[in-house]
A and B are shown apart, each in its own frame.
Chain A
Amino acid sequence: MRLDIRYRCAFEYGALVHESQNELRACPVSDTRQTLLGYRVTTSPASRVFSFEDYWGTRVDTFGVREPHIYLEVVAEATVETKSTPLLTTSPMFEALRGPAFVEEHWEYLERTPHADWNGKLAAEAQSQIDLTGPEVVSATLGIHRRVGALLSYRPGTTYVGVDVDEVLERGEGVCQDYAHLAVAMCRSVGIPARYVSGYLFTDRDDTGEDVDGDEVVVQTHAWFEAAIPGVGWLALDPTNRQAVGLRHVKIGHGRDYDDVSPLRGTYSGPRNATLEVSVEMRRLAAVTSAQAQQQQ
């Protein structure tokens, strides 16, 4: 599926601010599931953007605005082509998770991190899924994924990033970041390496993930998770929508948790009070026929 994505983030400050310095992570990654066809970032007031790929492989756009301003808008526009991925046909057992080479390679995704720490209750929830599915990694991961969907109900605005995943579990509600963190923490608690994914989803409702009739939606950034399956690779699942990651998911990047791949972080000098408006416009482009594709080449 070919998608145009327009990520827009606008700050309006209570008074003049200056010396704003920022890092943006909004660019879709190119990997086996998707190909980035075009990308550009513009800011207002205008600034020079310096871009690089970070430790996790995510493109970062850095920019600063020194001049006094009361309004700052960042727009990132991307065109991306997503591909379907084949279904998993292997099912390694839990022993494979303990192979020294596998542990060495995935060490960072097994540790506790600030947004993916866990207590006994969370670990027990994860363990109960393995008791049901048996010590088989794909089934156990899918079990955890489904369990997260059952444990939480989607409630926009209930949390902000910074709430402990234990607390999210206690409350039983959250937004997509909470679903992803809960799934990551549950996987890690039983020894399955898992990572947090930031991205976009072409749907008009985060909580259903249903396909839309039209070709345009206005959404927010989305989050899901990936679990490492020995001998296979990363299995990407979207617990908020209780579905596997598919053609309508566009990945920006991954990390140990939200902090490694947060869309925008920065500092400025000026008053604290600011309003923030973030929106993501996504447009499905007409399918390109193979004849047209050849012509384009």
Chain B
Amino acid sequence: MTTDLFDGYAPDDFFDEVFTEDASVRPHYEDLVARLRSFTPTELARRERLRDAAFRSAGITFTVYGEDEGVERTFPMDLLPRIIPAAEWSEIEVGLIQRVTALNRFLDDLYVGERAAVRDGIVPAWLLSSSDGFRREAFGVPVPRGARCLVAGIDLVRDAEGTYRVLEDNVRNPSGISYVLENRAAMTRVLPNLFGSLRVRPVDDYGITLLDALRHVAPAAAGDPTVVLLTPGVHNSAYFEHAFLARQMGVELVEGRDLVVDEHVVYMRTTRGLQRVDVIYRRVDDAFLDPVVFRRDSMLGVPGLLAAARAGNVTLANAVGNGVADDKAVYAYVPDLIRYYLGEEPILPNCTTYLRWDDDQRKAVLDRLDQLVVKPVAESGGYGLCIGPAATDAELAKVAEQIEANPRNYIAQEVVSLSRHPTLVDDHLEGRHVDLRPFVLTGEKTTVIPGGLTRVALRRGSLVVNSSQGGGSKDTWVLRDDDAKVDDGDEVT
């Protein structure tokens, strides 16, 4: 006999990804729900074991900072995938391409252009030059084709109406794509039959697409460019992903000490001598990249690297100084930047954000701290976040003090009532809040990997989905448009 996993499941007052307001299943989830309802508890347990075995064999871990420093653990994937229908996805896709195109234009304008957006009053100069992510040292460093955000991870959430909104942009070193690929690999073993019947768009060509994009931004003089991935090393929380991506692309995984600069050309030390390097997919943060220019104590970087990039002999991806574009205060200006550079209305709206507070506005925000989300502008990964409705009085008082001391360093946002998705908790399903980080690549053109990383807040009621904050993930299925022509090489997995 089967027990219905969905027994007692309540969407409450949230937008639910699977159920409509009148508790019927959304059409694109019908197959999945029917399948899950057919599972016996034994069958479900078997699928969970399949998943766990898939991840253990892949050795996926994610280091969590803050709590147990340095402890490695898995970033758990929920058995229920998130499903996005074709029409919905195509709108998201267009919106993401639009946004990343504008961010690339903005960064190029700022670092090697006329700073037109500043000149024309779209974004204030002081806001940019006061951004922690703004690197004066990278001023004038060219990037072929202006592909400064070669890899972008744009975090989306759905509000109470189900509208997709941009929560934040990640254009420095966004991570998480390895989970997308590993989740998919695991899911094809956990729920093999559903992929065929649902016509799920594949994600497994990410490595090829990324390598293509990297080769595309090589200096013009490089004939058959050599690409490497530069990692800070095994102690970095995302080292697994660095190794994974290098393997996917078939390129060398190197550390700073493996590279050397000679006459403004970068070489990799190999057993056969020095080999010229043309493009570096660097997963080392700006501040550690080149001790001549940035932090002198950095052992992770390569002395002379930035001068080599400036001389046009090597391309760094992502570009140095991108942090100014994903500064959470600059975020508020992105819709205007889209209008300014592209002459288009933004397709994906921002979340309501308060910033650049004058004394009156700051006071109004301080009075409503218990209803708002406060974020430090330069942090990522959910660090330093304060969610008003969930915070204690002591926490709110501390945040108020921090804002008073340094208004530029914080933004406040209205709480978005994130959509929820049924998620397996022990032997039944409960609604858990989710977001979505699609990955956007810019090479010859800007493209989006179908889906992305759906992160889920595993704690009941929690709105923080970051893996560094104890979140989990879901495989994300983008369905193929039934009317669309099937391209060769884009077959159903």
**Which A residues contact B (CB, under 8 angstroms)?**
19, 21-23, 47-48, 50, 52-56, 62, 64, 66, 103-105, 107-108, 111, 260, 265-267
Contact = CB atoms under 8 A, between A and B. Distances in A.
Contacts of B124: 104
Given A107-B125, A266-B292, A267-B291, A21 B139 contact: no
B139 A104 contact: no
Contact of A52 (B130, B140, B291): B140
A267 B296 contact: yes
A62 B140 contact: no
Contacts of B125: 104-105, 107
B307 A62 contact: yes
B161 interface: no
B140 A53 contact: yes
B252 to A, nearest CB: 20
Contacts of B304: 21, 62, 64
Contact of A107 (B129, B137, B310): B129
Interface in B362-402: none
B36 interface: no
Given A19-B260, A104-B126, A108-B129, A267 B140 contact: no
Binding site secondary structure of chain B = loop
Contacts of A23: 292-293, 307
Given A21-B304, A54-B140, A62-B304, A48 B263 contact: yes
B471 interface: no
Contacts of A266: 292, 303
Interface string B276-307: 00000000000000011100100000011001
Interface of B: 124-126, 129-130, 136-137, 139-140, 260-264, 291-293, 296, 303-304, 307, 310-311
A50 B293 contact: no
A19 B303 contact: yes
Given A19-B303, A55-B139, A62 B291 contact: no
Contacts, number: 63
B378 to A, nearest CB: 16
Given A21-B307, A54-B140, A55-B136, 15 more contacts: A21-B304, A22-B292, A50-B307, A52-B140, A53-B140, A62-B264, A62-B292, A62-B307, A66-B262, A103-B126, A104-B124, A107-B125, A107-B129, A107-B130, A108-B129
B303 A267 contact: yes
Contact of B263 (A19, A64, A104): A64
6 A-B pairs closest in CB distance:
A21-B304, A21-B303, A55-B139, A55-B136, A62-B307, A107-B126
A47 B136 CA distance: 26
Contacts of B296: 265, 267
28 contacts: A19-B303, A21-B261, A21-B292, A21-B304, A21-B307, A23-B293, A47-B263, A50-B310, A52-B310, A53-B140, A54-B139, A55-B136, A55-B137, A55-B139, A62-B264, A62-B304, A62-B307, A62-B310, A64-B261, A64-B262, A66-B260, A107-B126, A107-B129, A108-B129, A265-B292, A267-B291, A267-B292, A267-B303
A64 B136 CA distance: 22
Contacts of B292: 21-23, 62, 265-267
A195 to B, nearest CB: 14
A252 B327 CA distance: 33
A88 B238 CA distance: 58
B314 to A, nearest CB: 13
